[in-house]
A and B are shown apart, each in its own frame.
Chain A
């Protein structure tokens, strides 16, 4: 099984910034500086706890050019299954953990003429580094930020101080509501970015599409927890003939090769896409990092070096 390369860091400080949010500073254990990152980037954090490994993604809220440490802000969620609960209650200064290299699935549009950020609650986090990037690029932006109250508004004073002209706050305890109506006023060339609870993102996405925003001008970020691997045996039938068994411990690609079937491949970790094969029948359990969500949903192809079958049998095509 492929495990992504990680960096070892230690917690150097923990700061409670609102009732529910703590900010953690992580510094590199080896003394070698951490990689720079781009506005909107996040890391995966790997926490070892007695019951297993907790993997969670958090946006980096420190400055993208700062290499001596990273900062993340973690909100204690009411229905935490362990992730934020452990960060809030278990984590101490000096604790060691692994993090991924910075990744960015929520980057600033290059072609945008104007950027507008819509944040709700802890959804503000990716926008901090984005705003920093924009200010150095001398582009224009606005921020619309909804929170329950001023006290629970994460990074409120920092944002007010640095971006007084661009930021707009909406506190529900003061009966201010962030509404989708402002979407109608953005000039041509605007890109909009949404981050917050699922319902918030959906509401703003739908409203933008109804106004006629092109899909590529709408950006949003959801963090999905990684999928645990289910290792069970199943069968693969080649469309014009033989059926082979794939055991719990081998990949489809390995099983094909064992039977002398020529199937191309390169990386064998589900990333290059070279081994992709068409699927004619059966449900695929996708584990690769190559296919897009839509391609995965279509269930008509498989990356056999890592992906498996959900059904007992898959029928695939090999030319």
Chain B
């Protein structure tokens, strides 16, 4: 969601002066799969509306994912309660759990592991309490499959199409991924992910507009804004979209939880930090065409560069 917090806490994604696809994962310092930000309430309402209006777009699962879904309920609640004890609590009596969300003033009672004790699937239930999109990658033999997921804020992909898909097939649309052997290396890395050692990485893109729900299904609603970008309006209209992605090994099903927290920052906000402005300008100028094209920036890259140049000039003349 549009950044309202302190700029110093924005997950700024760049290091160096060039950007290439690589496995940029690092071990997490704070081992939590979720984060509650100042826009929690607003985003939860929005997310719940999307989930109820467009369930097939935002939620998919295969029947054998239920044990893994409960595992996600367990880890998410544990992390909510440990990190934000003032906002979330859990009472556990054997398998009878009472989960309290004080921010939304809700109390949910269910029997852990008992599907019928909830009105919906476990992953659907818990995703209504976190800003993150939650993807369950099931380890099946020597591969990882997207066997369940709740996805409200995708960066132009379709969960409905990707359900049941292998890791490498999911990444098939990315140019150069296969040719450089990156897909195999990342899969190898993920297969060796261990419980107790979670990882995180940042992914970034640019977008025209400030919608969180840029699903492939609704491309015709939001994609056309790309054509309206000019060097005059780019600061306001164009946003850098950063996904904080976290990877946890789920030990019960020997699978992986992939959580995605999406943040948006208008370029004019980014430009207030001169180092960021300079660095981002360098990176975008140098960005190879295939990445520019894949990220959907081609139509308005020139306008953005021009905008950034103007900002840089202003800084220099100050």
Contacts and interface: CB of A to CB of B under 8 A. Distances in A.
Interface string B130-157: 0000000011111000000000000000
A300 interface: no
| Main SS class of interface, B | loop
Contact of B189 (A5, A7, A38, A273): A273
Interface in A235-266: 264, 266
Interface string A261-275: 000101101011110
A110 interface: yes
Most chain B Cβ neighbours within 10 Å, of A100, A103, A266, A292: A266
Contacts of A6: 196
A289 B251 contact: no
Interface residues on B, range: 20 to 34
A146 to B, nearest CB: 27
Interface residues of A, number: 33
A274 B22 contact: yes
Contacts of B192: 271, 289-290
Contacts of B197: 4-5, 101, 271
Interface in A21-71: 35-38, 41, 64-65
Contacts of B23: 266, 272-274
B188 interface: yes
A38 B26 contact: no
B195 A35 contact: yes
A6 B253 CA distance: 20
B236 interface: no
Contact of B25 (A64, A104, A111, A266): A266
A290 B25 CA distance: 13
Interface in B7-66: 22-27
B195 A101 contact: yes
Interface string A98-123: 00111110010111000000000000
Interface of A: 4-7, 35-38, 41, 64-65, 100-104, 107, 109-111, 216, 264, 266-267, 269, 271-274, 276, 289-290, 292
7 contacts: A4-B196, A38-B252, A38-B254, A101-B197, A109-B141, A110-B139, A292-B188
